[in-house]
Structures are given as C-alpha cells and as structure tokens.
Amino acid sequence: MTDQRPGPSAVSGDGLKDCCAAAYSSDVVALLLGDSYHPGGTALTRRLAEGLRLTESGRVLDVASGRGTTALLLADTYDVRVDGVDYSPANTAFAQGAASTAGLGDRAAFITGDAEGLPHPDGIFEAVVCECALCTFPDKARAAAEFARVLVPGGRVGITDVTAVPDRLAPELTGLAARIACISDARPLSEYSRILAAAGLRTVRTERHNQAMTRMIDQIEARLNLLRMTASAKLTAAGVDLDAAPAVLAAARTAVADGTLGYALLIAEKSP
C-alpha cells in the first residue's frame, strides 16, 4: 500500500531489497501490522516451530527477522540460541534492543545482512526459519541455496509465506507496492517446494493457512480506518496511498476468496 508507482520491473535487485527494508522499518507499518509482520502472527510461528525438531543446544537462524518477534519467541519458548538477519539496519537495531529488554540478549543476536548472501558459515544451524519474506526476495533460488548451505545435514527449514497464482492477480496487486506487501512476486506453494528441492531441501510438510491472510487484511483495513482519522499525515509521509488502499484491500480479499492468494506453511529437510 505504499504509493510508489513504478512497476516492479522498474526496480530490481538491491533496489527492491532497499524498498522492502525501508517500508518494513517504518513505525506506521508497525502500527498497521503489530509485532509480527506476517499473517497468522505468533500462533502460526509456534505451529511452524513444532515441525522443526528444535533441541535445547541447537542454533536457529531467522532469515528476514524483522523486529525480532519470531526469533525472540523461539529463544524464549524453546531455549534455543537464535541468530536473526535482516536487510534493514533499523530492524536489526530494534530487534537487538527488544532482545535486551526481554532478557534474551544472551540467546538472540541480530545482524544486518542479505538472505541471498548470508553472512554465516556453512553447516552451523539445526533450523532456518523465514516468515513472509521469501516472496519478496528477487533471487529466491539463491536464497534457498543459502538456507541449505548454513544448515547442518538433516537440518530443517521452516517457511510461512504468501502464496499466489501470479497470472490471476488483479492489476491492483501487481505493482511495486504489492511487491513490497508480499503479494506480486509470491508463488504457488508447489513452486516454493520446487525452489527448495533444487537447493537440496526436500519438503516434508505443507499446510494452507489462507484464513490468516483474510484476518490480516481485515486488521489492516480496521487500523487504516483508525489511523486515517488520527495520523493521515504520518501515513502519507510513509508512502501509504490512502486513496488507493481500499481498492487494493478489496482486490486482496477477493483474491483470497477465489484461491488466487493465500498463506502457507512449509517445512523442508536437508538430506542427512
């Protein structure tokens, strides 16, 4: 819903990552989305964690860790050591501060980096998680190869992400703003599996959670309506196009209802 009109092809590679990271660093986005920047929130993160076979001594990497909500939940609930990496320095700093505030500074550490070139050595994590972000990465195959590289043999990757049937997306859902909103470059669940398989990660579980997408659309609409009255200048300054937002939200709701858009959980394993 940010008002940056060029089509997604006009911005590519690092430019796209910069746009995405800047959007998800804004306080207005935090007001719209809450702590977890993905449909399903922490409940879906817990569901994902159940499939990862985490052990107390294990290390977990949260790729595109945002403000640290997923990583801190895993460190706190499963007693694992979690490293978070995000393209946005502001998010990294926020997450590190949240870790200290929560008394988890010894078990959660955050650095700024790129999912397509992770700044971590080979084979050190028993699990990699990536929530609502693979859909935004320009080179998904490279990111998947990086997930595989940093995993130990037999390690698992847990993904929750937007799914889409790209050639059925309405025009409102295909611009740069929709790309940043995790929609326009989302792929069908089967394609995510294929991308992971090509990197040596075999899918062992998939689940559809499309209703979580609808709930997030409802939440954004309700909060936008509130903020429109109290903070419209802030929204506009952050690039939110208040005039376009209702049509984008309506198109997204229709797309979920007819199966064009959805949200899914996927767990894949690196061969032992």
Interface ranges with ligand SAM (CB under 6 A):
17, 20-21, 24, 36-38, 64-66, 69-70, 86-88, 91, 114-116, 131-133, 136-137, 182
State the DSSP code for 135: G
Which residue number, 64 or 233, has a Cβ lying nearer to ligand SAM?
64
Q: Which is nearer to ligand SAM, 107 or 140 (CB)?
A: 140
- When CB distances to ligand SAM are compared, the closest residue is 66
CA geometry: angle at 177 spanning 176 and 180, to 5°? 85
Minimal distance in Å, beta carbon 74 to ligand SAM?
Answer: 12
CB of 272 to ligand SAM, least distance (A): 27
Q: What are phi and psi of 116, to 5 degrees?
A: -85, 0
Shortest distance (Å) from residue 95 CB to ligand SAM: 9
For the chain, the first-to-last Cα distance in angstroms comes to 43
Backbone angles phi, psi at 114, to 5 degrees: -110, 130
Considering beta carbons, is residue 52 or 153 the nearer one to ligand SAM?
Answer: 52
- The secondary element (H helix, E strand) that includes residue 41 is helix 41-50
| 224, amino acid identity | L
Q: Which is nearer to ligand SAM, 2 or 88 (CB)?
A: 88
Smallest gap from residue 17 Cβ to ligand SAM (A): 4
- Collapsing DSSP to helix, strand or coil, 266 comes out as strand
